[in-house]
Amino acid sequence: MKKRIVSAIMAGTMVASLVACSPSPEAPATSAETKAAGETKAAAETQAAAETQAPAAASEDANTLTVYAWDKNFNIPALQAAEADYQKNVNPDFKLNIVEQSQSSDVENAVTLAGSAGDYSTLPDIVLFQDHYFKKYVTDFPDAWASFEGADVNWDDFGAEKLSYSTIDGVHYGMPVDNGTVIFAYRTDLLEQAGYTIDDMKGISWDEWIEIGKKVYDTTGKYLLSMDGDGNDLPYMMLQAEGVSQFKDGDINLSENETFKKIIDVIVRGAKENVIYLANDWSDYTDQTIVGDMVAGVMNGNWIIPTIQQVADNSGKWEITSMPTLEGNGKEGFASNGGSSLYITSNCQNLELAQDFLAKTFGAGSTETYDAALKNGGVITCSAKAGESAVYNEGVPYFNNTPIYAEIVKMGANVPVVEQSDYHYPTRTQVAAAIQNIINGADADASIKDAEDQVRFAMQG
């Protein structure tokens, strides 16, 4: 399950393209001409989407809700599980009309088109929306959304970091669905060859991790970690585990961010010493380094698990743990990468039904909803309650019969809340380029400052 995002900044919105769970955008504009071209392209793509996709508006039936969602193998099975749960336990006449979208940008385009026209009557009752993008669309189209005010939901059952994306000025707009908590998975057989166990990887510093990685490479010829060098998620994940953001008070914050500089230094040293392999692109990352068996470790959002599991011969050899930190000394690192939530639109004709449906399935931590979502689509809950079920606590054979899903839910509750920005992906692109430049011999401070300047230019444009 990987998410791929191609983003372009429009005159009031950001359009992105998604295929499942891991984002990968284009670089932001670096000149007025490039930016103008990007806006023209985005507008053309949006218009094309409008011409090819007939809108499916909110349902007028008292027992039916219409929802837009993408990914028939991941998100849609989760919605079907919730539908069956609500039919069985609340309303046997209930029907969820799921309108499959090819990618997340289809949903974003639908909201953009409705908002630009000032007519939200084309929107469905509910939409699935990426966490990193929602606040941008609330800012641009505040009248497009209904809240969960008055719904019976125990919000304390969800981690604060997950809720931070969908809670604005204290108002809950979204119902969490999938869990983007980061895992660090290791091949325990390869660690053993180098003289280590999974327990040796828990609560260590990144400096200690690099030393272990050097020995693993010398012993096995495997890197301890890989990442897409163009869409490099390592800086964001490693920084969040420190409780620090790449943004401060709405502005980009790299050149004077000492924690960020230390993180970049770890990545550069790891790459130079054959501990981290920076792949050419997403396909190289997944197909060559993970499925191609080049690595002894994988760190990313837990949606990376099916990619790891593609190598049947390695079943039973993997286990998961938390991330290292700069400090180490037993301190574990926790982060999140990816994820989405369900939102009710202002066009919903039966707000009480929509609130009740989402509150009593995803919002209630229903084991019937979440157990089926996990079994049928691999969606891991954000609900602490649901994570305690027997299904979540079953040992997973591929991961040495450890109950990884229950562990992921517990880790998710510890992810720090850090400042987010609509420029998350443009920042990732510029930081990835800076890392490559530093590895190739460029001055670190100058490269980081240049990345910061490029992002700030885009933010002010």
Altogether, the residues listed in the chain come to a count of 461
Rounded to the nearest 10 degrees, the angle between the axes of helix 234-241 and helix 258-272 is 130
d(CA 424, CA 347): 29
Which band of pLDDT confidence, cut at 50, 70 and 90, is reported for residue 55? low
Lowest pLDDT segment from 115-119, 352-356, 422-426: 422-426
Instruction: Give the count of beta carbons closer than 10 Å to the beta carbon of residue 39.
Output: 16
Structural domains of the chain, ranges and CATH numbers in brackets: 52-180+338-391 (3.40.190.10), 183-335+418-460 (3.40.190.10)
What is the model's pLDDT at position 8?
Answer: 32
With H, G, I as helix, E, B as strand and everything else as coil, classify residue 424.
helix
Instruction: Give the count of beta carbons closer than 10 Å to the beta carbon of residue 249.
Output: 6
To the nearest whole percent, how much of the chain has pLDDT over 90?
83
Asked if residues 162 and 176 have their Cβ atoms less than 8 Å apart, the reply is: yes
Instruction: Give the count of beta carbons closer than 10 Å to the beta carbon of residue 360.
Output: 20
In which residue are the tokens 């096995």 written? 220
**Each residue of 257-282: pLDDT tens digit?**
999 999 999 999 999 999 999 999 99
Lowest pLDDT segment from 3-7, 123-127, 187-191, 257-261: 3-7
Tokens at 48, concatenated: 């094309």
- Where would I find the H helices in 167-247? 188-193, 206-220, 234-241
- pLDDT beyond 50 at 16: no
| pLDDT: which is higher, 32 or 358 | 358
Rounded to an integer, the average pLDDT of 212-230 is: 97
Asked if residues 131 and 166 have their Cβ atoms less than 8 Å apart, the reply is: yes
- pLDDT beyond 70 at 448: yes
- Please provide the DSSP assignment of 121-159 as one string: GGS-SEEEEEGGGHHHHHHH-GGGB---TT----GGGB-
d(CA 337, CA 304): 10
**Each residue of 296-344: pLDDT tens digit?**
999 999 999 999 999 999 999 999 999 999 999 999 999 999 889 999 9
Tokens at 326, concatenated: 């700069």
Residue type, 88: K
Residue 341 bridge partners (DSSP): 129, 176
d(CA 367, CA 361): 9
Asked if residues 379 and 177 have their Cβ atoms less than 8 Å apart, the reply is: yes
To the nearest whole percent, how much of the chain has pLDDT over 70?
88
Residue type, 6: V
- DSSP 8-state assignment for residue 99: E
d(CA 167, CA 180): 17
**Each residue of 128-159: pLDDT tens digit?**
998 888 988 998 999 999 999 999 999 999 99
Q: Is 277 left (phi over 0), alpha (psi -120 to 50) or beta?
A: beta
Alpha carbon 168 to chain centroid, angstroms? 19
Tokens at 109, concatenated: 């385009």
Asked if residues 226 and 291 have their Cβ atoms less than 8 Å apart, the reply is: no
Tokens at 80, concatenated: 């079907």
- Name the helix (H) or strand (E) containing 430: helix 424-439
Which band of pLDDT confidence, cut at 50, 70 and 90, is reported for residue 122? very high
Residue type, 222: K
- pLDDT beyond 70 at 12: no
The pTM of the full predicted model, rounded to 2 decimals, is 0.84
Rounded to an integer, the average pLDDT of 371-379 is: 95
